[in-house]
Amino acid sequence: MRLADFILRDMEAILATWEAFAATLLPASSEMGSVELREEAEQMLRAVAADLRTPQTREAQRKKSLDQGPTRVGTSETAARTHGFLRARGGFTVNQLAAEYRALRASVLRLWMDVCAPEAPDLDDIIRFNEAIDQALAESVISFNMQIEQNRNLLLGMLGHDMRSPLQAIQVTSSYLAALNAGESVSKAAGRLIRSGARMQALLDDLTEFNRTKLGLGINVSPTHTNLADVLAEALDELRAIHPDRQIELHVTGDLQGIWDSLRLQQLLGNLVINAMKYGAQDTPVRVMVTGDVTHVRIDVSNCGAAIEPATLARIFDPLERGRDHQNQDERAGNLGLGLYIASEIARAHHGAIETRSDETETTFSVSLPRAKP
């Protein structure tokens, strides 16, 4: 008996085996009934049977194995994607999802070979069936991972939103304590609370912005006519007050009038300067040079210190990426490794670009911004 005929004839027996195995995948399966345990399995099997009955040349088979073939017969991709989505919603792990397909493959082939005995099963059917199951598994995993990522991003969004109110209460209370002038010990404690609250706020802002980009929303900007010289000078004054032990220089050349979101560019500059202070030589200044030409404004943030490794430099604007030498330091300081990623997204939102270069004497981050939004 050909495998496609066996699948359609013994569909219920195959589905019963699938259901029995899925019921063992605890704890997710503990509250599921027969319909949920068999989710999309019959549709996938019918699509596999239809594919097995479709003539296929060796060249077509080779292309399909390389994921270069035409759309397959039936609805296995749709059913497999739906199955992966529903398993993610149901609390399954990706290992449990893969185990379902592994068990399905083994049970179908075993039952079919028992029916075929004593005759040998058709080898071409076995090859094509394995290809079909592999493809369905790949489709399910893609859908599963997309749903898990979306769930994670939504959780981060809700967490960031819900943390703002208690954090604001801490900041307001600490500011009130600082204003009481109730003695040196109270002032020091209030100062620690204010600084800790500021660090928490910065982490929360980074988390919120990262979450927006992962949800496909991008960085929100509200461009207005802006004098960038004043905007950046204000941002650096705040950083000097927070880090009185570090020297930050600002050099301005040319016309810095344009259409930008001033608060976002203060955030961008702050992220670059903080990164320069963190990884640059502690006894040397951080230099900020801003130059305006006819169409663009360029911001260069430079620090002295060791060169960045080429491998790290290639992915330095990726989220959650940090150099090996500073990873443990960042984790102890509560750094998420999002500052440079957010800076690059702010530049992108302004239709600009950001790049970096590094050697044994200096590292420079350069931002190019068009004067007006295209």
Bridge partner list, 290: 252, 299
Mean pLDDT, residues 155-169: 68
Mean pLDDT, residues 46-57: 87
Kindly tell me if the per-residue pLDDT of 336 is higher than 60.
no
Banded pLDDT at 73 (limits 50, 70, 90): very low
Q: Which comes out higher in pLDDT, residue 224 or 61?
A: 224
Residue 220 has a pLDDT of: 77
- Looking at the chain, the whole-number percentage of residues with pLDDT higher than 90 is 40
Kindly tell me if the per-residue pLDDT of 165 is higher than 70.
no
Residue 77 has a pLDDT of: 55
Residue 95 has a pLDDT of: 93
Residue 355 in contact with residue 366, Cβ under 8 Å? yes
Distances (CA, A) of 320 to 28, 210, 310, 316, 347: 30, 10, 17, 9, 18
Residue 2 in contact with residue 122, Cβ under 8 Å? yes
Residue 258 in contact with residue 297, Cβ under 8 Å? yes
Residue 368 has a pLDDT of: 96
Kindly tell me if the per-residue pLDDT of 170 is higher than 70.
yes
Q: Return the DSSP state at 374.
A: -
Residue 329 has a pLDDT of: 47
With tokens 């319909």, the residue in question is 35
Mean pLDDT, residues 36-51: 90
Mean pLDDT, residues 306-310: 88
Residue 366 in contact with residue 299, Cβ under 8 Å? yes
Alpha carbons within 13 angstroms on the beta-carbon side of residue 184 total: 0
Among residues 110, 113, 109, the alpha carbon closest in space to that of 121 is found at: 113
Q: Which comes out higher in pLDDT, residue 222 or 6?
A: 6
Q: Which two tokens stand for residue 107?
A: 């049970």
Kindly tell me if the per-residue pLDDT of 298 is higher than 80.
yes
Residue 204 has a pLDDT of: 75
Burial of 306 (0-12, 13-18, 19+ CB in 10 A): middle
Mean pLDDT, residues 313-335: 61
Residue 214 has a pLDDT of: 62
Q: What is the DSSP string of 42-104?
A: HHHHHHHHHHHTS---HHHHHHHHTT-SPPPSSSHHHHHHHHHHHHHHTT--HHHHHHHHHHH
Mean pLDDT, residues 349-358: 93
With tokens 């204003």, the residue in question is 179
Residue 6 has a pLDDT of: 93
Residue 213 in contact with residue 317, Cβ under 8 Å? no
Banded pLDDT at 68 (limits 50, 70, 90): low
Q: How far apart are CA 16 and CA 68, in angstroms?
A: 34
Q: Dihedral angle at the C-alpha atoms of 193, 198, 203, 209, nearest 10 degrees?
A: 150
Mean pLDDT, residues 60-82: 64
Q: How far apart are CA 109 and CA 121, in angstroms?
A: 9
With tokens 């939004």, the residue in question is 373
Banded pLDDT at 49 (limits 50, 70, 90): very high
The answer to whether the peptide bond before residue 118 is cis (omega within 30 degrees of 0) is yes
Kindly tell me if the per-residue pLDDT of 302 is higher than 90.
yes
Kindly tell me if the per-residue pLDDT of 175 is higher than 90.
no
Average pLDDT, the chain: 83
Residue 302 in contact with residue 276, Cβ under 8 Å? yes
Q: Which comes out higher in pLDDT, residue 277 or 179?
A: 277
The answer to whether the peptide bond before residue 166 is cis (omega within 30 degrees of 0) is no
- Looking at the chain, the whole-number percentage of residues with pLDDT higher than 70 is 83
Kindly tell me if the per-residue pLDDT of 307 is higher than 60.
yes
Kindly tell me if the per-residue pLDDT of 210 is higher than 50.
yes
Q: How far apart are CA 25 and CA 37, in angstroms?
A: 10
Mean pLDDT, residues 107-113: 92
- Three-state SS at 38: coil
Residue 16 has a pLDDT of: 93
Mean pLDDT is lowest, of 149-153, 210-214, 280-284, 299-303, for: 210-214
Q: 181: Cβ–Cβ under 8 A, 6 or more apart, which residues?
A: 187
Among residues 29, 152, 149, the alpha carbon closest in space to that of 96 is found at: 29
Residue 76 has a pLDDT of: 46
Bridge partner list, 123: none
Kindly tell me if the per-residue pLDDT of 320 is higher than 80.
no
Mean pLDDT, residues 187-197: 79
Q: Which two tokens stand for residue 159?
A: 């967490």
Banded pLDDT at 211 (limits 50, 70, 90): low
Q: Which two tokens stand for residue 24?
A: 């063992």
Residue 1 has a pLDDT of: 87
